Structure 1
Amino acid sequence: MSKEITTTFEYQATPEQVWAVLTDFDAYPEWNPFILSLRGKPEPGARWDVFLQPPGARGMRFQPLVKVWESGHTFAWEGSLGFRGLFDGYHMFRLEALGGGRTRLIHGERFRGILAGLILRFIRENTRKGFESMNAALAQRLASQS
């Protein structure tokens, strides 16, 4: 079983427009059904405070470490359940310009650790639905701003 969940979504908006909405963390409560709260500095090495709730699952708060911040293109964080190596997740958002004012979002997470296979059996589907609901809500948010 793959220990990765990857979704893609294409938007009728430029990468700059998508990035502006995707990184306006203060506005997440207004539109984001998956990541309900995200606070912290947008820079590698920062600790963020994140509260997310996949559809059909309990919400969880955690403090991941920002691993990548490439303004206008990519950001990613890494978090662990308990201690590092037990169940770790590397969550990533990457934008690709498609031309014609369109953008592709690659939104995914790679899991590893002793319990990754076991835990993924229980959370895979709800997590994928959470990513997809966020991707679709981002499209609606972009459309409402144009």
Structure 2
Amino acid sequence: MARIVESTIDIHAPARDVWNVLLAFSTFPEWSRFILAAEGHPALGERLALTMNDGGGVMTFKPVVVACEPQREFGWRGTVGASFLFSGEHRFILEARADGITRFVHRESFSGWLVPLFWKTLNTRTRAAFAAFNIALKERVEALNKAEAHSS
């Protein structure tokens, strides 16, 4: 049985702009304290190299991209040891609204035998890291949009 951690935020920008910041991996160190570094090609089946810190220390892993639908959804699947022990499917979902706002959904579905042992930590520390990432993403996208509007 999978357990899910999810955090949602509204970003005052079109999905295109959120998508562009989300997939500009080289800029993550400038604004994200959760995903510290990301390398690789964001395409289905590709392997990424991610360095992350959810508040429990820095970890590096190499998940495989399992979703890449421009301006709608990006996600990867990673494992710790064998997939039956612990795996996570991480998703960023962009829901474009008619008012020009993008609802950003940050979700991870955890599965495997070890999940119940770590659930309390995942449900608190990881949820807080997701919320902080969402706020940082919102601030980055909205600041870039404001700067672009002033330069036009």
TM-score over 0.5 (shorter chain): yes
The structural deviation recorded for 1:84 is 1.4
Name the counterpart of 2:142: 143
TM-score using structure 2 length: 0.91
Give the aligned partner of residue 128 of structure 2. Answer: 129
Output the amino acid matched with 1:37: A
Q: Aligned with 1:43: secondary structure?
A: coil
Moved over 3 A (4+): none
What is the aligned length? 145
1:72 aligns with 2:97: no
Q: CA RMSD in A?
A: 1.3
Query: Percent identity at matched positions?
Result: 35
Amino acid at match of 1:133: A
- Counterpart secondary structure, 1:94: strand
Partner of 2:44: 44
Deviation of residue 76 (structure 1)?
Answer: 0.8
TM-score of the superposition, structure 1-length normalised? Answer: 0.95
1:111 CA displacement? 0.5
Q: Which amino acid aligns with 2:89?
A: Y
Partner of residue 101, structure 2: 102
Tell me how far apart the structure 1 counterparts of residues 6 and 121 of structure 2 sit (CA, whole Å). 17
Please tell me the residue identity of whatever aligns with 2:58.
G
Bigger radius of gyration, 1 or 2?
2
Structure 2 equivalent of residue 17 of structure 1 = 17
Note the residue ranges of structure 2 that are not aligned, 5 or more in a row: 147-152
Where structure 1 has 5 or more consecutive residues not aligned to the other structure, the ranges are none
What residue number does 2:116 align with? 117
